[in-house]
């Protein structure tokens, strides 16, 4: 917590996080605790500043005013030979963070597939580039789900026969 905020707020409104501060201010208002207008204004201003700073550092979800990123460069995943031989197909679902420059920075597997398909999907997606997501025209980091479809086409099936 910012020391300046800690020192100027009354002890009952000091909090370790934005949500704690919001909770304390809400409790004070609901209990109709007597506090000066200046203290309440200061507490709410600190809460707002903290919330904006927190949001700026954390990836957002697409929706409302957050516009989705647009894929600019896609690298196709390699279909592992073992998966081809096993005639395995299906979906790998990934949750990725796309930063404000359009690069994929973090990848978390939500639905894996065996025989190297998951690893192939992750390796490919890490090379993708996007036009970044925006909030009110400003590029922002977002959390975004990607679905990679592994499907054997007829040519691959005929080669295996």
What span, in angstroms and rounded, lies between the C-alpha atoms of 146 and 158?
29
3-state secondary structure of 131: strand
Helix ranges restricted to H, 68-132: 81-85, 117-125
The boundaries of the domain holding residue 111 are 66-160
48 and 24 fall within a common domain: yes
**pTM for this prediction:** 0.62
How many distinct structural domains can be found in the chain?
2
Tell me the pLDDT of the chain (161 aa) as tens digits.
Answer: 444 444 444 554 444 555 566 666 666 666 655 556 666 676 666 666 555 545 556 888 888 788 999 999 999 999 999 999 999 999 999 999 999 999 999 999 999 999 999 999 999 999 999 999 998 889 999 999 999 999 987 655 434 43
Classify 11 as helix, strand or coil: helix
Is there a single domain that holds both residue 45 and residue 86? Answer: no
Identify whether the C-beta of residue 61 lies closer than 8 Å to the C-beta of residue 142: yes
């Amino acid at each position: 917590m910012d020391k300046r905020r800690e020192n100027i707020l009354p002890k009952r409104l000091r909090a370790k996080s934005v949500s704690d501060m919001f909770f304390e201010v809400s409790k004070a208002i609901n209990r109709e605790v007597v506090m000066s207008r200046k203290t309440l204004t200061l507490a709410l201003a600190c809460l707002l500043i903290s919330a904006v700073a927190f949001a700026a550092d954390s990836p957002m979800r697409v929706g409302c005013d957050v516009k989705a990123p647009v894929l600019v460069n896609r690298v196709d995943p390699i279909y592992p030979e073992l998966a081809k031989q096993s005639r395995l197909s299906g979906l790998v679902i990934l949750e990725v963070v796309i930063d404000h420059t359009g690069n994929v920075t973090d990848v978390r597997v939500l639905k894996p597939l065996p025989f190297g398909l998951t690893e192939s999907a992750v390796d490919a997606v890490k090379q993708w580039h996007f036009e970044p997501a925006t909030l009110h025209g400003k590029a922002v980091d977002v959390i975004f789900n990607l679905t990679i479809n592994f499907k054997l086409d007829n040519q691959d099936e005929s080669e295996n026969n």
